[in-house]
Structure 1
């Protein structure tokens, strides 16, 4: 039997295993396919899996539990799967511990984006994911964990443009991801930024924005909370009867890296 004729059977097997909750067995099926037919077979199956199945499978893995799917998922397939991640979150967890969900989501995104040193793949993953409405919300959720640091990155982008170094006053793990997004997709960076800070409509507006060191002081500008953004993502989960489509949000970029 040829490799090509094996793929539909593998796709069906993985789908059934994931829907049954047997993520370990699904991962083993990927590993066996890679051993027999090479990584490309896994890539092709991941490319054709329904995005909600990919989301269910990959939600079980994070930066601490690497998988072949993490390493090989095509950028478009990963971007589409992000639309369904919020469907796996219990309502009470969003309400009671939004930071825990955000940290888990960060571990997943960071694990996929920085799974290897292939800069072209990293840029493609970030560009595809941030080109969707739900992707913008996902990045805003991650950035909401460190809004002060994100404003510092935004300020550095405005002042340094293509000479951006990512140096801030914090070593927060979200900073390298923010810098990588800004370098991979100017439009994607802006969309995520304005999803977190909806009052801003232009990157330059952020130049004078500051955060007070007093945690009890009211912020001077509107910032969506992690919980609010999690609920926004939940509302963006597509019906499984229709394929998710990239959003049509217009660009508000300023050509920062030209």
Structure 2
């Protein structure tokens, strides 16, 4: 890119990044972002991420987890990230939901945690979590994360009910999911409730959870209706938007979604 005007280069950069991601060259896409940031500043990357298709952002970000920091992770705008999450289930192998749902959920956790906690900017974190949880697919995603530690999530729910805005984040659990749950509750009351009720569909009001107790004895009759990790993963898969036109031939979800 030789032009010093970033606006003139954004369409070309957007096209370049999109083509690289769809070709599977995620590292080269990151290099293109790094060059743009060096030449035009971080806002050029933000603008591209605001304009490329959300399914491309999903495919790109799926290549980075909490241990692989990228410019996209650091700079993705909250709305662009929230939109991309609608497509993330299309990046999973078709048989993995059935065979190893916990592994997918843990990978999803690494993604969400990696983006939300990429920096110490609390305002950005709140905006990211609020935007992500404001959608149906976002609520399902957080419910998937919470399904990894349902007993601890009920404990957090009790803290939210009793302390409200004075929630301290102190619980008896050292589960990695707890900080994300607390951050979501602090960022968006509505988003927290949506995710909670997606996991525990019998509850419709936070007060219903005040006296709820979770029995983790596998032989005991469940006292609380809870969706399993696998069930929630399938729900998210069904929420993936289709980009296929009515005239195209039917293909698998994983192939179709990025065509």
Question: Which one of the candidate residues 118, 122, 125 is aligned to 2:121?
Answer: 118
1:74 aligns with 2:77: yes
Q: Matched residues in 1 for 2:219 and 2:38: separation?
A: 56
Q: Please, which moves more after superposition, 167-176 or 42-51? A: 167-176
Q: Matched residues in 2 for 1:212 and 1:53: separation?
A: 41
| CA deviation after TM superposition for structure 1 residue 25, in Å | 0.6
Q: Matched residues in 2 for 1:121 and 1:56: separation?
A: 22
1:24 aligns with 2:66: no
Structure 1 unmatched ranges of 5 or more: 243-258
1:163 aligns with 2:153: no
Question: Which one of the candidate residues 198, 215, 232 is aligned to 1:229?
Answer: 232
Q: Matched residues in 2 for 1:145 and 1:177: separation?
A: 12
Structure 2 unmatched ranges of 5 or more: 246-259
Question: Which one of the candidate residues 43, 54, 78 is aligned to 2:46?
Answer: 43
Question: Which one of the candidate residues 21, 34, 37 is aligned to 2:37?
Answer: 34
1:141 aligns with 2:141: no
1:63 aligns with 2:66: yes
Please report the TM-score for the alignment, with normalisation by the length of structure 2: 0.92
Q: Matched residues in 2 for 1:198 and 1:155: separation?
A: 17
Relative to structure 1, is the Cα distance of residues 218 and 198 closer, same or farther in structure 2, using a 3 angstrom cutoff? same
1:86 aligns with 2:89: yes
1:75-134 deviation digits (Å, cap 9, x = unpaired): 000000000000111221000000000000000000000111111111110111110000
Question: In structure 1, what is the equivalent of residue 217 of structure 2?
Answer: 214
Tell whether the 8 Å contact from 2:214 to 2:224 is kept in structure 1 after alignment: no
| CA deviation after TM superposition for structure 1 residue 212, in Å | 1.8
Question: In structure 2, what is the equivalent of residue 253 of structure 1?
Answer: none
| Aligned-pair Cα RMSD in Å | 1.1
Question: In structure 1, what is the equivalent of residue 256 of structure 2?
Answer: none
Please report the TM-score for the alignment, with normalisation by the length of structure 1: 0.92
Aligned partner of residue 243 in structure 2, secondary structure:
coil
Aligned partner of residue 34 in structure 1, secondary structure:
helix
Tell whether the 8 Å contact from 1:198 to 1:223 is kept in structure 2 after alignment: yes
| CA deviation after TM superposition for structure 1 residue 142, in Å | 0.3
Aligned partner of residue 46 in structure 2, secondary structure:
helix
Question: In structure 2, what is the equivalent of residue 107 of structure 1?
Answer: 110
Tell whether the 8 Å contact from 1:70 to 1:112 is kept in structure 2 after alignment: yes
Question: In structure 2, what is the equivalent of residue 52 of structure 1?
Answer: 55
Tell whether the 8 Å contact from 1:212 to 1:219 is kept in structure 2 after alignment: yes
Q: Matched residues in 1 for 2:201 and 2:78: separation?
A: 27
Q: Matched residues in 2 for 1:24 and 1:112: separation?
A: 18
Question: In structure 1, what is the equivalent of residue 249 of structure 2?
Answer: none
Question: In structure 2, what is the equivalent of residue 178 of structure 1?
Answer: 181
Q: Matched residues in 2 for 1:150 and 1:171: separation?
A: 12
Q: Matched residues in 2 for 1:58 and 1:104: separation?
A: 12
1:205 aligns with 2:208: yes
Q: Matched residues in 2 for 1:120 and 1:241: separation?
A: 37
In the TM superposition, structure 1's runs of 4+ consecutive aligned residues that sit over 3 Å from their partners are none
